[in-house]
Chains A and B, each alone.
Chain A
Amino acid sequence: MTNIPTGVVARGEPMEMLLNMGPQHPSTHGVFRMVLWVDGEKVTDVEPHIGYLHRGSEKLCEGEQFHQVITLFDRMDYLANFNNELVYCAAVEKLMGLTVPERAEYVRVILCELNRIASHLLFVATMGLDAGAMTPSMICFRGRERVQSLFEAVSGARMMHNYFRIGGLKEDLPDNFEEMVGELMPLLQADIEEADKLLTFNEIFLARLKGVAAISVEDALDFGLTGPCLRACGVDYDLRKADPYSVYERFEFNVPTGLDGDCWDRHFVRVQEMYESMKILEQALKQMPKGNVTSSLGRRLPRPPKGEVYVRTENPRGEIGVYLVCDGTDKPYRLKVRPPSFCNLSAIKHLLKDTWIADTVVVLGSLDIVLGEVDR
Chain B
Amino acid sequence: MSLPIPLLSVNLITLFWIVAGLLAMFTALSVVVLSLTWLERKLLGRLQRRLGPTRTGPMGLMQPIADALKLILKEDIVPTSSEKAIFWIAPVLVVVPAFMIWVTIPGTGNLVLKNLGDLGLFYIIAFSVVGILGLVLAGWGSANKYGTLGGLRAAAQLISYEIPVIMVVIAVAMLAQSLNMVEIVEKQSSYPYVLVFPLGLVIFFIAGLAEVGRTPFDIYFAESEIVGGPFVEYSGAHWSVFFLAEYINTFAVAALTVLLFLGGWSGPFLTGNWEIIWFLAKVYAVILVIFWIRGTFPRLRIDQLMAFAWKVMVPLSFYAIVITAVYLFYGLPPWTLTLMSLAGLAVVGYAIYRRFAGPASQAAQVRARYLALQSRSGQ
Contact = CB atoms under 8 A, between A and B. Distances in A.
Interface of A: 1-3, 5, 7, 17, 19-20, 25-27, 41, 128-135, 138-139, 142, 198-199, 201-208, 210, 254-257, 259, 264, 268, 272, 356-361
Interface in B300-348: 300-304
Contacts of A254: 377-378
Contact of B144 (A5, A25, A204): A5
Nearest to B364: A201
A204 B298 contact: yes
Q: Which of A129, A134, A198, A202 has the most CB of B within 10 A?
A: A134
Interface of B: 44, 47-50, 81-83, 143-146, 148-149, 153, 215-216, 218-219, 222-227, 294-304, 357-360, 362-363, 366-367, 369-370, 373-374, 377-378
Contacts of B295: 134-135
A26 B224 contact: yes
B300 A208 contact: yes
Q: Which of B50, B82, B216, B378 has the most CB of A within 10 A?
A: B216
A359 to B, nearest CB: 7
Given A138-B49, A207-B301, 7 more contacts: A131-B298, A206-B366, A207-B300, A207-B362, A208-B298, A268-B370, A359-B301
Nearest to A211: B362
B145 A5 contact: yes
Contact of A7 (B145, B153, B226, B377): B145
B377 A204 contact: no
A206 B297 CA distance: 11
Q: Which of A27, A132, A256 has the most CB of B within 10 A?
A: A132
A206 B227 contact: no
Contact of A203 (B149, B359, B370, B374): B359
Contacts of A201: 363, 366-367
A41 B302 contact: yes
Nearest to B353: A203
Given A138-B48, A357-B226, A204 B366 contact: no
B50 A138 contact: yes
Given A132-B216, A259-B369, A19 B145 contact: yes
Interface pairs A-B: 10 shortest CB-CB: A132-B299, A138-B48, A203-B359, A133-B298, A131-B298, A207-B359, A132-B298, A27-B224, A3-B81, A358-B301
Nearest to A128: B298
B83 A2 contact: yes
A259 B373 contact: yes
B49 A142 contact: yes
17 contacts: A7-B145, A19-B149, A27-B224, A41-B302, A129-B224, A131-B299, A132-B218, A132-B299, A134-B44, A134-B295, A139-B48, A201-B367, A202-B298, A207-B301, A207-B359, A356-B301, A358-B222
Contacts of B148: 5
B145 A356 contact: no
Contacts of B225: 27, 357-358, 360-361
A203 B360 contact: yes
B210 to A, nearest CB: 13
Given A210-B362, A254-B377, A133 B297 contact: yes
Nearest to A209: B298
B217 to A, nearest CB: 10
Q: Which of B224, B227, B357, B362 has the most CB of A within 10 A?
A: B224
B294 to A, nearest CB: 8
Q: Which of B225, B227, B369 has the most CB of A within 10 A?
A: B225
A135 B48 contact: yes
Nearest to B144: A5
A204 B224 contact: no
A173 B197 CA distance: 65
A361 B374 CA distance: 29
A204 B206 CA distance: 15
Contact of A1 (B83, B216, B358, B374): B83
A356 B303 contact: yes
Q: Which of B145, B362, B373 has the most CB of A within 10 A?
A: B145
Contacts of B300: 204, 207-208
A143 B303 CA distance: 34
B299 A203 contact: no
Q: Which of A130, A199, A206 has the most CB of B within 10 A?
A: A206
